Structure 1
């Protein structure tokens, strides 16, 4: 096996000391330009790669991003996080960073994990998922000046302009607009929405897309729309949910658009294939059942998260002086028609 070049090899090739090579790698601004160029040329010619572990010991930077592995409460929707983590891990690896997964039963336990991981220099920054109203994790990270980016908006504050932290999210309102317009274009008129109870930032955002489109494109009254706005707050795959939906969806609507593929499955169990049903997240369940579904562009989400973490902003809350770059990324989803 070919021996990897060392700092000594670079120093010899450039005609400088080992310390000078170290200075070029870690504090290049203190090295004369002519000497720095000579060392950099030797590094490139020898294909030298600094030892990551040694560099972490010197700098106390782990080049590692922490992400919570959420408990699996819904195997259907859980595949979304799996796909996001895979996309994020791929991109961090290409950028020379790593992803560290940790678990926590609740927010308080996750905040304890933050403290342990930061104190041990195990991670440099965090990516938060499943954001919600009054998210105490965000407050803790801001207070302790820990770099982070959230996959999800800071629900409950000035979402689009909040300077306190960096976020990437998928435009759920736009996704349900696409879904509703699709079934309307297919001849539907009474389109029902199946979502979660009010108070879910994500669910409310998606409901708003349905309602705005129905208001603009149909002549249904507020009372008629209210009757078509249905919620489920238990396991949507429970057979009793389907039974209740059959009663609630009477008379049968022309189509149903849903806040998730789990809810789309419940609608399918209730209505069969009598009417078009559109889900959200484009999970394997939607593909297996042949349902149309809104696909979150998770590769684009992961790209945006990483850009905010290791790009010009460096994951810093409150913005970075002199950086003229949006602090937020709102990704447009796409409708997958089957």
Structure 2
């Protein structure tokens, strides 16, 4: 989404005029020594011809003109899983306050409406940058922010984008793949073989990563059975497929999915889930007959004694601000970094809370 008639030229316009990529234009502006002379001169000519100037918001972030960071307040669609973003907002607000910054919350109906809010807030110099949550495949919000050179960081990776290491898209995320793999391996070590995965329909960047962690742990277990001479107990790929069930998020949906799984005749030794909502749904059907692990360690999970993967939200908030603003003089408490590290991205490891 671009500005209409009379808008200022952007890096995309310069890239198109010079016949290069957006990243090359960024390199010419920020690290010209790494660009070939002929290419650099072509980009510089396009900049001059178009009258391109870096967006004012980038300068405002360095000078902290408004000392305010904007973040969308997502609508509450699920009282269980929604608690995670509430905790993140609280941690982000506390961390920002410690750095002399304010958090401005705004609402939006959908991504297009959120982009309109971006433009309004930037034009009014109300914010210096943005923190985005709930990233999706081909997210139009990040495309607009990059095109208009508005500083931002996302809580969530740029799903579906090839240039995951693009310096212009700073992101922090939690390694759900690791969390589900750890949960699955622990249930397998308890003596079970048929550990099911209850997650969201694909494509879902977050959900697909969590499912991948379960699958890798299950396949690794099957390989170890063969090495130990217990090949007869090995589950084939089709068996693993049958242990994987998808459902939209929600307690009722989770219960329905587990009932359908049981009705198919599949025996279960445990269930790992993509959310606490789904895990609670599974618990309502299975009770204490098999171990169940949720994701997000919400207050509901704690109240009913449900094991769950906990995201390090304090560390996420600290990392998001560091990526957006630079290092904090105080310790950032970044925690267990799985990778990639400095300078533009963080992938933090969660921990399973066993009950």
Q: Smaller-chain TM-score range? A: 0.7 to 0.9
Q: Does 1:237 align with 2:251?
A: yes
Alpha-carbon contact 2:276-2:308 (below 8 Å) kept: yes
Choose which of 241, 250, 253 in structure 2 pairs with 1:226.
241
Q: Helix, strand or coil: the match of 1:169?
A: strand
Q: CA RMSD in A?
A: 1.8
Q: 1:308 aligns with which of 311, 323, 333?
A: 323
Structure 2 equivalent of residue 102 of structure 1:
106
Query: What is the CA-CA distance between 1:163 and the residue it aligns to?
Result: 3.3
Distance 1:205 1:241 in 2: 19
Matched, 1:181 2:185: yes
**Aligned equivalent of 2:165, options 154, 161, 164:** 161
SS at match of 1:214: helix
User: Which of residues 189, 194, 198 in structure 1 aligns to 2:202?
Assistant: 198
Matching of residue 276 in structure 1 with residue 291 in structure 2: yes
Q: Does 1:83 align with 2:78?
A: no
Counterpart of 2:333 in structure 1 is none
Quote the offset at 1:326 in angstroms. 2.2
Give the aligned partner of residue 325 of structure 1: 342
Q: How does 1:1-338 map to 2 (within 5 A)?
A: 61-158=65-162, 160-218=164-222, 219-233=234-248, 236-238=250-252, 242-249=255-262, 250-311=265-326, 325-338=342-355
Query: Mind listing any 5+ residue stretches in structure 1 that lack a counterpart?
Result: 1-55, 314-323
Contact 1:60 1:121 in 2 (8 A): no
1:272 CA drift (Å): 1.5
**Per-residue CA shift, 1:222-270, capped at 9, x if unaligned?**
100000000102x5322x7524522313333100000000110111112
- Tell me which structure has the larger Cα radius of gyration: 1
User: 1:214, 1:196 → 2: CA distance?
Assistant: 18
| Shift in alpha-carbon separation, 1:190–1:60, aligned structure 2, 3 A | closer
2: CA distance, partners of 1:333 / 1:308:
20
User: Unmatched 5+ residue regions in structure 2?
Assistant: 1-59, 223-233, 329-340
- Cα shift at 1:159: 6.2
Is the 2:198–2:254 Cα contact (8 Å) retained in structure 1?
A: no
For structure 1, which segment, 270-279 or 204-213, has the greater mean C-alpha deviation from structure 2 after superposition? Answer: 270-279
Secondary structure at 2:251's aligned position in 1?
coil
DSSP-derived class of the 1:66 partner: strand
Question: 1:172 & 1:244 partners in 2: Cα distance?
Answer: 21
Query: 1:171 and 1:224 mapped to 2: Cα distance?
Result: 26
